[in-house]
Amino acid sequence: MHDSLDYIWPHIEYCDPIFEESLVRSWNDDAFEKLRRSGVLEQAEATDYFACPYCEDTYLEEIIAWETPAGIQRLAIPCHEHGRVILSPEQLRQWSVSFDRLVYLLAAGLGIAGEAVQIEPWRLWRLGKINWQGGLRDVLFTRGFDARCAISSPPDLSRYPNAIVLLPHAETSRVKWEHHVPTVVSLPEVATLRADGIEFDHSIMLPMIAEADAIARVASESRLNMQDLKLIISREVKSIQTHELTDEILVRAYIQEGSFRKAAEFLSRETGQEITKDKVHRAVQRSGGTTALARGEDSDSIVRTVASQRRDRTKKIQRRPEDKQDK
C-alpha cells in the first residue's frame, strides 16, 4: 500500500510541481484527501490550457471562456475531432506542494521546535537541530536538482559539515555532490503521513544515518587525499627544474584515479605537462605492479604521508634513464 507522500515525492524535484485535478483524483487510498487535509497540497491557479478528455492525443488547447445570455459562465476548448468541448471549473483545478507546510511537518515529526529557515528560495531549508549520540546536529531539507529540474546541481552544503540532509529521493546514492558529500536520508524510506502529521520510522532512520555518516566520512577522506596529492604535485613541479615527477607521485595518482589513463589526464592537468599513461604504468610496475597495490603490499614505501614528502623535498631527485624516453 502506498503512503500518501509517495505520490508527491517523485514530483518534488520539478522546479514548480503542479498536479492536475484528474491526476490527484486517480490516486488510491484516499491519498489526495490526506495530502489536502494535511496542507501539503494546496490549490493553485487554474490552468489556461487543457487537453481534450476524449482524444488519445495529449495536445493542449487554450481555454475559451464566455458568458451565456442567462449570465452563466462557460469554459471550453476547440478540438479538431469533437468540435467545442465544454469543461467544468473543477476539471481545470490544479494543486501544488506547500513547501512551507511540508518543511514544518518534517521538523515537527523529528521533534524540532521553532521555525524552519529557508536558506535558498524553494530549494534548501534548515529545520533546526536534533540530538544525535550526545551532540547536536543540523537537519536540512533540500530538493530540485535531479534530471527533471533545471534549477542547478546539488547545493554546496560544506557550511554544514555535520548536518543530516533529508532528500525526497528513493535512491540517494545517485545524487552527484560536487562539493561536500553530506549525510543523507531518503524520505520515501522513513517518512509516513498520518492524520496528525509526518511520522518517522526510527528503526530504519537511525541505522540509515549511521551508514550515511560512514559513506560521507570515506568521501571526505578521499577528497582530502586528492587535495594532498594536488599539493604534493604543485610542490614537486616547483622544486624540480627538469619537470620530472617521481614514481611516488605517479603511483599516488594511479591509486587515486583508479586507471593509468585517468591518472595521466589528472597529472597533465595539474602540472601543465604532457604525462602519458605509459609513464604512469611504468612507475606502477617499478613499485610492485597493480597486484601489489591492490593487496596493499609495501604500502609504506608506495604511498608515504604528506609529512614524509615534506621531509624528502630537500633530497636530490635522480632522473631515471627510462624516463627520458617519456618526454
- Mean pLDDT taken over the chain: 79
- CB–CB of 140/129 below 8 Å? no
C-alpha cell at 208: 540509515
- CB–CB of 106/126 below 8 Å? no
Q: Taking residues 114-140, what's their average pLDDT? A: 91
- CB–CB of 94/45 below 8 Å? yes
- CB–CB of 171/186 below 8 Å? yes
Calculate helix-pair angle for 260-271, 277-286, nearest 10 degrees.
Answer: 110
Give bridge partners of residue 132 from the DSSP assignment: 135
Residue keyed to cell 531549508: 125
Report pLDDT for 1.
53
Give per-residue pLDDT as tens, 83-122: 888 888 888 889 999 999 999 999 999 999 888 999 998 8
Residue 276 φ/ψ, nearest 5 degrees: -90, 155
Report pLDDT for 320.
40
* In the predicted structure, residue 298 carries a pLDDT above the cut 50: no
* In the predicted structure, residue 190 carries a pLDDT above the cut 90: yes
* In the predicted structure, residue 299 carries a pLDDT above the cut 60: no
DSSP labels for 66-112?
EE-TTS-EEEEEEETTTEEEEE-GGGG-EEEE-HHHHHHHHHHHTT-
Report pLDDT for 152.
64
Report pLDDT for 271.
78
Report pLDDT for 228.
63
40's CB contacts (< 8 A; 6+ apart) are: 5, 8, 97, 98, 101, 102, 105, 193
pTM of the model: 0.63
Q: How sure is the predictor about 80, in pLDDT bands with cuts at 50, 70 and 90?
A: confident
Q: Put the strands of the sheet holding 183-186 in their side by side order.
A: 117-120, 124-132, 135-142, 164-167, 183-186
Give per-residue pLDDT as tens, 252-297: 888 777 788 888 888 888 777 788 988 888 888 888 877 666 555 4
b vs e for 93-110, b when ≥16 Cβ sit within 10 Å of the residue's Cβ?
bebebbbeebbbbbbebb
**CA–CA separation, 293 and 287 (whole Å):** 8
